[in-house]
Structure 1
Amino acid sequence: MLYLMRHGAPAVAGRLLGRTDDPATEAGIAACAARAVGLDVARIEVSDLIRARACAEAIAGPPSLPVVVNPRWRELDFGTWDGLAPAAIDPAALGAFYDDPDAAPPPGGERWSSLHDRVAAALSAMPPVPTLVVTHGGAIRAALADLCGFDRRQIWAFDLPYAALVSLRIWPGPTRTVQIVGLAT
């Protein structure tokens, strides 16, 4: 099994937080820890950003599970938009980004395909044991695109609020098969 969890609510919600390293709130950390109760995992992998790491550490707490920090699970880098509220960004530029984040990435930011490629590399390097990944909304969407073949429009068709958990069953082999078996929001 593979579980993908979005970090808890950040101290500054409602902004494009990519590389901005804002912490999660106490309530956000507690929401992630509560969501993880009962998960049967052998390890936890986590983005290197503090809002995800604090949640993973709370989940791993006694008994201590191995926590692997992996920067490939970082959120999309929003460039000069990083840390801004969507209302502070030119609506036409933001709309172009949401329509095609490869053709219209944020100024100085990362293309969708770059996020997808680094998340796919993180998935490929994972050992075949039940794992919880505590990461960001964009990275979860990139993982679902890689694992399930969803296109960009399909991955934006559902909400991934803070502390959301996507549960996946994976059958390895020459042609990997993946089934979403749960979405807890």
Structure 2
Amino acid sequence: MLYLMRHGAPVREGLLLGRTDDPVTEAGIAACVRRAAGLKVAAIVSSDLMRTRDCATAIGSARGIVGEADRRWRELDFGVWDGMRPADIDPAAFARFHDDPDAAPPPDGELWSSLLNRVGNALAVLPSVPTLVVTHGGAIRAALADLCGFDRRQTWAFDLPYAALVSLRIWPGLDRTVQIVGLST
């Protein structure tokens, strides 16, 4: 089993937080710990940013598991938009980004295809035991694109609020098969 969890609520909600290393609230950590209750995992991985790492550490400490931080699980880098409210960004530029994030990435930001590539690389090295990955909304969407073959628009067809959990069953092999068995929001 693979579990993909979005971090808890950051201190400054409503911002594009890609590489910005904002802390998570205590309530956000508690929400992730509650969401993880009952999961049978042997490994925990997170992005290296504190809003994911702190949630993963709290979940792991309750189970005696030391998590591993992997920067490939970071959120999309929003470049000059990082740390901004979407309402403060030129609406036409933001719309172009949403329509085609490779053709119109944030200024000095990361391409969607680059996020897909690095998350795909991170997925390839996950341990072959039940694993919880505490990460970001964009990285979860990139993982679902890689694992399930979703196109970019399909990855936005569902909401991933803070502390959301996607549960996946994976049958490895040449023709890897993946089934979403749960979405908890």
Q: Which residue is equivalent to 2:131? A: 131
Q: Which runs of 4+ in 1 moved over 3 A?
A: none
CA deviations on 1:5-46 (whole Å, 9 max, x unpaired) are 000000000010000000010000000000000000001000
Aligned-partner SS, 1:107: coil
Cα deviation for residue 135 of structure 1 reads 0.1
Q: Establish whether residue 53 from structure 1 lines up as the match of residue 53 from structure 2.
A: yes
2:88 partner letter: A
1:31 partner letter: A
Distance 2:159 2:79 in 1: 23
Percent of matched pairs sharing the same residue: 73
Q: Establish whether residue 98 from structure 1 lines up as the match of residue 98 from structure 2.
A: yes
Q: Which residue is equivalent to 1:84? A: 84
Please give the residue correspondences for 1:93-172 in structure 2 after superposition, counting only pairs within 5 Å.
Answer: 93-172=93-172
The answer to whether the 8 A contact 1:78-1:109 is kept is yes
The answer to whether the 8 A contact 1:42-1:66 is kept is no
Distance 2:105 2:9 in 1: 25
Q: Establish whether residue 73 from structure 1 lines up as the match of residue 84 from structure 2.
A: no
CA deviations on 1:75-95 (whole Å, 9 max, x unpaired) are 000000000000000000000
Q: Which residue is equivalent to 2:176? A: 176
Q: More deviation in 88-97 or 54-63?
A: 54-63
Cα deviation for residue 64 of structure 1 reads 1.4
The answer to whether the 8 A contact 1:166-1:183 is kept is yes
Q: Establish whether residue 31 from structure 1 lines up as the match of residue 42 from structure 2.
A: no
Aligned-partner SS, 1:98: helix
Distance 1:62 1:7 in 2: 17
Distance 1:164 1:62 in 2: 19
Cα deviation for residue 62 of structure 1 reads 3.4
Aligned-partner SS, 1:140: helix
Cα deviation for residue 126 of structure 1 reads 1.1
Unmatched tracts of structure 1, length 5 or more: none
Distance 1:107 1:99 in 2: 15
Cα deviation for residue 127 of structure 1 reads 1.7
1:148 partner letter: C
Alpha carbon RMSD of aligned pairs, Å? Answer: 0.6
Cα deviation for residue 115 of structure 1 reads 0.4
Distance 1:62 1:56 in 2: 10
Distance 2:152 2:32 in 1: 26
Unmatched tracts of structure 2, length 5 or more: none
